[in-house]
Each structure stands twice: as structure tokens, then as C-alpha cells.
Structure 1
């Protein structure tokens, strides 16, 4: 018997012939939890990976990204985002458990999947996790986005991005998050100018909601010399 990394219930870890023949490692979660993770598939926004439907799109981008790109202050800040899963009810509860209830072990499931996506899409880019303010770090005792970089190649990771103390984004409404774009909570270490090897940067975060946080971080990096900023998140 094994214990599911997500729900903590015991389950029988019975490998299939398919996984044995291909020497595939079994996922450390039960079938019930695995079935509730919904990978992003199909026709998606070329910028943020949101699944496109006739009611939420303008050509090949979603309405949110279209609006971001129509404003001179936010155009081309975030070149693209790739996410692993839909932000459904199960994922919402999962990330709340991970972020706010201290279940840091969940990062061991997502970290290798984000690394595989990084190696497929952005190998050679430098990587920065979205930082917490000192106040939030003291509350949670760990930075959930830094843990998503577990076992990544250390030579691609740099942690120069810092966060000021601000109101939590999770407490704001969708519209208030977007309106607060000008109040940028991010800064770089003093006297840091991004050298040529930092021209291309991948931001790693747990969730893409409105894109405000990632674009604020991207703005800070581009003002310091970055040429291209993209992002990877668990959920969209």
C-alpha cells in the first residue's frame, strides 16, 4: 500500500504492464486524484495558454491578453506563459493546501513536470521563481515557488528578484488585481543589471490568474535589460 501525496489516503500501487515495459515511474498519487488533474490541451491562447472558445477570444489570443497587448504600458512584457493544468475546483483546493497549510511535499510532484516543460520549451533560459515578501515568508515558513525548482540544474537558477511587502494578491478581486498593475511590488537586488546571459528569463509561479503578477515581474526584469521574459506555472 502507498499513501497518496495529495489526499493522504492509502491506495494499492499496482503497476500496469505498459508502465513496466516502458520502465515508467509510477505517480505518487491515487487514481482518484490523478483523474481530477486536467491537463491543458487543445486550442489555446498563444500568449497565456488559456483554452480558447468562441466567446473568449480575439483571433489567436484570449480577450485578457488582447487587452494587455493593446496598452502601451503592458504590451510585450510577458512574451508567453505555459501552464500544466486547468485551475479547476480540485486544483484550487490542492494549491490552497500547498501554499497556506504548509504541505510542501506536493512540490515533489509538480517540480519535475515543470522542469520537463522548461527543457522542452526554454532550455538555456535563466530561471527565477516569483518571490515572497519577508512578511509572507515568515507567515508560511517556505516559498512555494522556490520549492518548484527542486532538483533543477542549479546553473540555470538565479534569485535576484525581490518582493516588497504588499497586500496579498489572493485577497484582491480580479478587477482590482488588474487595476493595481502600476503598483509594482518587485525590485532587483541593488546595482544588479542583467548581463547578456540573463537576456532570456523564465519566471516560475504556482498559478496564472490574471497575468498581473507575472507582468509586473517581467516589467522589472525588462527595465533591467532582459530581452525576453516567459513564464511556467502549475495552473491556468
Structure 2
């Protein structure tokens, strides 16, 4: 069997209602040789059972997005790694776009994002996320981070922290190389903003990021984030 060039790693927790639809959208990538690894963090529903026929393998890991993504990377066979949230959909040519970006000299990158939902502020929020990411070189997990295995291993994988693991990973990768900021868009759920209120969520996330930048522990910030949600 030919080793995969790209391994897609998806951390999940209690995603039984959506996991089949999410994985069904990835079948064209699997047909082109992309390895799809689902990493379950202890789901209490049927996530694992439903995912198994639609992915390359299901892996169990301790709960926590960073830990789950690292566990998936540890068993992945690809020389390039793509980390995808369960509520995010890729463009149909994602594998080829990533291959072109990495072949062009970049060692890591992200996609632009489109937020799906009915709230009128969602397009504005997505535009601001894309602009901020392009200007700062910092990406969020919603934007489908990808990187070479070499880059992943050089920075030591995702930091073992319960929040801001994507921000910290971007910081570490920036020391290694500048990101490929792809203009093609992933589509991610806007439910976080719709359920908690758009302005309230924006202010919360900016406040948490500012405090993280000031040096507050991700554990303390995660406790506040869970409490607010």
C-alpha cells in the first residue's frame, strides 16, 4: 500500500449528530489517497461507531483538542498534516492546494474562513478573522491548520494546554517559517456566535486572547471560557 502524502486529523467529542455528514464530505479526498484519522476524546454517544466506516482509522486519546491532535499525528502516515475541526468543511481541492503551498516553500499554513449561519454579523466576523490572520501570521483551528511533519515535530507538536493551543502553535511555527495564507475558504459553523451572542462572543474571545498575550495561564482562561459558555 502506498503511504499517504497528506494525513487529515480530526479531534472529536460527542459528534454523533454530525460526524457522518462531516466525514461523507471528505470521501473525495480519501479517494485521492488522503488518510483521514478521527481522534475521539471519550465520547459518550455513538461517534466512534458512526465514524469508523467513513475514515481510515479511529484513535482514542485523553480529552483535550491538543492531546487528541497530537495523538492523531503520532499514528499518521503522511508527510503533511492537516488538522480539521468536526464542524468545518474543506474546499474540494484542499489536498492539492496544500500540496502546492508546501511545494512552494512554505512549511505550514491555513485557509481563509467562511462562517455558516443566519446572523448578519457572521460575514463581518469571518472577514475580520481572515484579515487579522494575514496581518499577524497567527491562525486559529477553525481555519484548518496544515503543516509538514518536519515542522510539526520541530516545534514539538501542539502544546498540552486546554485553550489557545492553536494560537501558541502558530507562534511556534512562525519562528520556523511564515505561513501560507490561502485565500480559498473553509466553511465553519457560526453556532458559537449565534448561541452566545455575536458581540458577547467577540468581546469574550478578544479579552481571553489579550490576557493570554499578557501571560495568564491557559488553564485559568479555559475555566472562564467554560463557565461563560
TM-score by length of 1: 0.28
| Structure whose CA Rg is larger | 1
Which structure: greater helix fraction?
Answer: 2
